[in-house]
Amino acid sequence: MKPHECSSISPDMPTEGDNAYDPVALEARWQDRWDRDRTNAFTLDELRSARNPFFNLMMFPYPSAEGLHVGNIYAFTGADVYGRYKRMRGYDVFEPIGFDAFGIHSENFALKTGVHPTELIPGNVANFRRQLRRIGGMFDWDHTVDTTDPEYYKWTQWLFLQLYRHGLAEQKEAPVNWCPSCMTVLANEQVIVGACERCGTGVEQRFIRQWFFRITEYADKLLDNLRHIDWSDTTIKAQRNWIGRSEGAELHFPIAEGSGAGQERVTVFTTRPDTIFGATYVVLAPEHPLVDAVTSDACRQEVEAYRTRTGAMDLVARKKIEKHKTGVFTGGHCVNPANGERVPVWIADYVLMGYGTGAIMAVPGHDERDFDFAHAFGLPIVRVIAAPGEDASTRLEIAYEYPTGTLVNSGRYDGLDVDEAKAAIVADLEASGLAEAKVTYRLHDWCISRQRYWGPPIPIIHCDDCGAVPVPEEDLPVILPYVEDFRPDASGVSPLSRVRDWYEVACPSCGGGATRETDVSDTFLDSAWYFLRYPSTDFSDRAFDPEITRRWLPVDCYIGGNEHAVLHLLYSRFVVMALNDMGLLDFEEPYDRFRAHGLIIREGAKMSKSKGNVIVPDPVIERYGADTFRLYLMFLGPFVEGGDYQDKGISGPHGFLHRLWESVVTGEHGTADRDDAAADAMDQDVERKLHQTIEKVTEQVATLRYNTAIAAMMEYLNRARAGGRSPTHAEIEPLVRMVAPFAPHIAEELWRRLGRTGSIFDGANWPPFDPAKTAEQLARVAVQVNGRVRGTVSVPVGATETVVAAAAQAEANVARHLEGKEVRRVVHIPDRLLNFVVAEPAAVGGGH
């Protein structure tokens, strides 16, 4: 470009005197320089005026005491490579990072070590900042977020109030895992086989009033939008399954006897109304409100015992562990609305109160769970669907669950196929008030209440006269008070309610005595909107600035782990949809593009603290440098699939960077070599390889196939140095540019030593390629005889079948295989392959 504009190296940026590659010193120097020059930071004006904004987001980490995990580094590096690539394509890339520092882990850690989270978190954050800086991420340190900072959670609380105001937050009774010994609520992960992980006491279910967000209102939109957002397939599938829309019908089974007879009816949800003639019994969840009404006196004692037993079970065991079917007969019966038959009513814990209506019609002939249950308790099994070749009397060895077939044993519906029958049966029952077509979702409302200490207080005040009153926005934040010992005590009340002057407060509505909500909110709420905050951290009077938000959002690219495929991603989509409906955002989806990265393992095994096989990043960086570490992480497998970190493998990428350094610094052309025409007269083969490499790397980096992009760069450098030759300036400079996203420090240094000034990341410095120069003159065509390779021929690109065939037949080995055979057919794939399909010649009578 302007080679002579400035060829001197600034005095505060000394070039290494001995020309040795010293990554540790070099990286520290460039990190200082990036800070000093504000290379990666935006001012408010720059955010306002960016011409080509690109919001490159990665999932912010939880700042643990152990320091940055390689899993984090892997994810951040992959995202950073992409951000740097986009920057080199001319985008204004905003790449912020923050800290998701509330939550159960800090609380547990505090209980174990006695260090209060308030004291613990700043040190952890400082250590994370140091490590994040050290790996060479392009982070804008002027726009970070810490969810535990009142300046941040003020707006988390504000968000709660907006949702509340629009009817999307409500209180409902819901079960929690309760440890009677610790007197505290446990998360599912704290329950180990039905017992409290800390004290081993059996866990109970308790029902308490909690705050929920009505995410189910958005179920259809959350599902429908999946059709047009650019996300990893696996993530879309996970969300689709999680939302779990199912179309079916609610059917009513009138109670036949007992106290409820005549007035009450059991309503079941089914996706298979066509199988109703096979419904030989009904099962209620043990908690179902009609259990009392159907239960006969003779059975009451046993029913009560069973209910107590399931009630004592924790939520995890109830949902996961139970394999063999248990249940008891209530003594009551319902009437099957299709055929008027009396069917027995059972209760069983495989029916969950939280899904559908909490009651099912059991069709053992066509549902495996019902089949198992019927077998265990000797209940009748009737076939009502027949596959081709079967009829009404074909024996059912296992439940026939296929979604197609013809109805049998179903009265006047016999002979209809499954889909016709569904519609006909629902329509007929609907006419007599015994059914309604219905859609249900697996998704439930989002419970955001946490009966804990380390989280943002939910901004609600409870008043005896006015009920739940939102804290006025001007009173935000509701500061989380410092509680020295936040452990639950014998009183059983929340730790926050023990802070009298915080807990007791005047009602904002009537001024009377009132108390604060003592639940704090779920950490998923903190992370459901953090990306909105990043570009607006310069504002303390609004959560996100409308103008800045219009310019920078939605997020252009989001990279993160698939462990958040469902909850975090779904919750943040919900929050954005709700804010959009409130008119506070003008888009419906937070992330235009999402890519899930893979997991890394070490030497074939999962890393864990207990196995002592975690990779500690600092020593690796000290030995090889961050550039090598980054390059190796991106090389060891496809980014979206993860890979196996083998300690010895790092020497490959390290050697590559060494050779690259050497090619620029101590090669024949050294730093003094400028754009000199003679020196740059490029070897034709090397030049072709260069353009092919740029083409390949450009395509692969853009699609996150980093491992093969790196392999292509290695191949190119090998070619350019083959036989001990020294690459010219023109041969090596484009490689420095391509390496830059992966190894930014060495790239900056080599860029400078190649005579450039300024940062390689300032400006659209990604190398272009010339398609005309990628073209090969000759093609190596494989020659097959009957599909087996018998030789290869070199022919001009685009050679016709005739030309290739002639060349092929001239090959001795090919000729040998064709000899005495009759060529029946020739398959020619230009520039790739020629296949002679041959056979023994038809006997013409000559013989011997």
Partner RNA sequence: GCCGGGGUGGUGAAAUCGGUAUACACAGGGGACUUAAAAUCCCCCGGGAGCAAUCCCAUGCGGGUUCGAGUCCCGCCCCCGGCACCA
Residues 303 to 322: which contact RNA by CB under 7 A? 318-320, 322
Shortest Å distance, C-beta 397 to RNA: 14
Shortest Å distance, C-beta 276 to RNA: 11
Cβ-Cβ contacts under 8 Å for 472 (sequence gap 6 or more): 508
List binders of RNA among 593-652 (CB under 7 A). 599, 604, 606, 635-638, 641-644, 646, 648-649, 651-652
> How far is it, in rounded angstroms, from Cα 123 to Cα 66?
11
List binders of RNA among 653-672 (CB under 7 A). 653, 655-656, 658-659, 662
> How far is it, in rounded angstroms, from Cα 342 to Cα 333?
6
Of 138-146, 233-241, 517-525, 728-736, which segment contacts RNA by CB under 7 A?
Answer: 233-241
Of 25-33, 143-151, 677-685, 715-723, which segment contacts RNA by CB under 7 A?
Answer: 715-723
> How far is it, in rounded angstroms, from Cα 753 to Cα 756?
7
Among residues 5, 173, 233, 397, the one that binds RNA under rule CB under 7 A = 233
C-beta separation of 593 from 58 below 8 A: no
Q: Is 723 in the site for RNA (CB under 7 A)?
A: yes
Among residues 271, 296, 580, 774, the one that binds RNA under rule CB under 7 A = 271
Q: Is 244 in the site for RNA (CB under 7 A)?
A: yes
Tell which residue, 181, 141, 173, has the closest CA to residue 40.
141
Of 75-83, 128-136, 299-307, 347-355, which segment contacts RNA by CB under 7 A?
Answer: 347-355
List binders of RNA among 669-708 (CB under 7 A). 705, 707-708
Cβ-Cβ contacts under 8 Å for 374 (sequence gap 6 or more): 280, 281, 362, 364, 380, 381
Among residues 787, 802, 806, 810, the one that binds RNA under rule CB under 7 A = 787
Shortest Å distance, C-beta 354 to RNA: 7
> How far is it, in rounded angstroms, from Cα 764 to Cα 94?
15
Shortest Å distance, C-beta 784 to RNA: 6
C-beta separation of 116 from 108 below 8 A: no
Of 388-396, 478-486, 671-679, 786-794, which segment contacts RNA by CB under 7 A?
Answer: 786-794
C-beta separation of 503 from 515 below 8 A: yes
Shortest Å distance, C-beta 278 to RNA: 11
Residues in the chain: 848
Shortest Å distance, C-beta 548 to RNA: 35
Question: What's the token pair of residue 396?
Answer: 């059912």
List binders of RNA among 396-455 (CB under 7 A). 442
Of 104-112, 348-356, 481-489, 621-629, which segment contacts RNA by CB under 7 A?
Answer: 348-356
Extract the runs of DSSP E, i.e. beta strands, from 229-387: 230-231, 246-254, 265-270, 281-284, 328-335, 342-347, 359-362, 385-386
The smaller minimum CB distance to RNA, of residues 199 and 722, is found at 722
Write the CA distances from 321 to 188, 305, 316, 460, 647, integer angstroms. 13, 20, 7, 37, 39
Question: What's the token pair of residue 789?
Answer: 């390779």
Q: Is 205 in the site for RNA (CB under 7 A)?
A: no
C-beta separation of 440 from 356 below 8 A: yes
Dihedral angle of Cα 620, 626, 630, 635, to the nearest 10 degrees: -60
Question: What's the token pair of residue 805?
Answer: 């065939």
> How far is it, in rounded angstroms, from Cα 670 to Cα 15?
13
Among residues 438, 516, 721, 752, the one that binds RNA under rule CB under 7 A = 721
Shortest Å distance, C-beta 36 to RNA: 32
Q: Is 511 in the site for RNA (CB under 7 A)?
A: no
List binders of RNA among 539-578 (CB under 7 A). 562-563, 566
Cβ neighbour number for residue 36 with a 10 Å cutoff: 9
The smaller minimum CB distance to RNA, of residues 165 and 832, is found at 832
Among residues 4, 36, 500, 825, the one that binds RNA under rule CB under 7 A = 825
List binders of RNA among 764-783 (CB under 7 A). 780-782
Pairing type for strands 169-179 and 385-386 reads: unpaired
List binders of RNA among 352-391 (CB under 7 A). 352, 354-358, 360-361, 367, 369
The smaller minimum CB distance to RNA, of residues 488 and 637, is found at 637
Among residues 710, 730, 750, 795, the one that binds RNA under rule CB under 7 A = 710
Shortest Å distance, C-beta 509 to RNA: 38
Among residues 214, 383, 597, 790, the one that binds RNA under rule CB under 7 A = 790
Q: What share of the chain is helix, strand, coil (3-state, %, to 5)?
A: 40, 20, 40
Among residues 134, 154, 214, 272, the one that binds RNA under rule CB under 7 A = 272
Question: Three-state DSSP class for 483?
Answer: coil
Among residues 113, 234, 339, 404, the one that binds RNA under rule CB under 7 A = 234
Cα 237 vs. chain centroid, distance in angstroms? 11
The smaller minimum CB distance to RNA, of residues 325 and 821, is found at 325
Tell which residue, 436, 459, 272, has the closest CA to residue 368.
272
The smaller minimum CB distance to RNA, of residues 44 and 353, is found at 353
Among residues 199, 582, 616, 789, the one that binds RNA under rule CB under 7 A = 789
The smaller minimum CB distance to RNA, of residues 321 and 510, is found at 321
Number of residues that bind RNA (CB under 7 A): 90
Pattern 725-764, binding to RNA, x per CB under 7 A?
Answer: ----------------------------------------
Shortest Å distance, C-beta 105 to RNA: 16
Q: Locate tokens 């198992």: which residue? A: 372
Q: Residue 670: left if φ>0, alpha if ψ -120 to 50, beta else—which one?
A: left
Shortest Å distance, C-beta 658 to RNA: 5
The smaller minimum CB distance to RNA, of residues 10 and 813, is found at 813
Shortest Å distance, C-beta 748 to RNA: 21
C-beta separation of 72 from 418 below 8 A: no
Sign of the Cα torsion 807, 808, 814, 817 reads: negative
Shortest Å distance, C-beta 589 to RNA: 21
Question: Which letter, b or e, does each residue of 218-235 get, where b requires 16 or more Cβ atoms within 10 Å of its Cβ?
Answer: bbebbbeebeebebbeeb
Shortest Å distance, C-beta 845 to RNA: 27
Shortest Å distance, C-beta 444 to RNA: 8
Shortest Å distance, C-beta 663 to RNA: 9
> How far is it, in rounded angstroms, from Cα 594 to Cα 555?
9
User: Could you tell me where the DSSP H helices lie in 201-280?
Assistant: 219-224, 233-243
Cβ-Cβ contacts under 8 Å for 26 (sequence gap 6 or more): 16, 625, 745, 746, 749
The smaller minimum CB distance to RNA, of residues 295 and 562, is found at 562
Shortest Å distance, C-beta 708 to RNA: 5
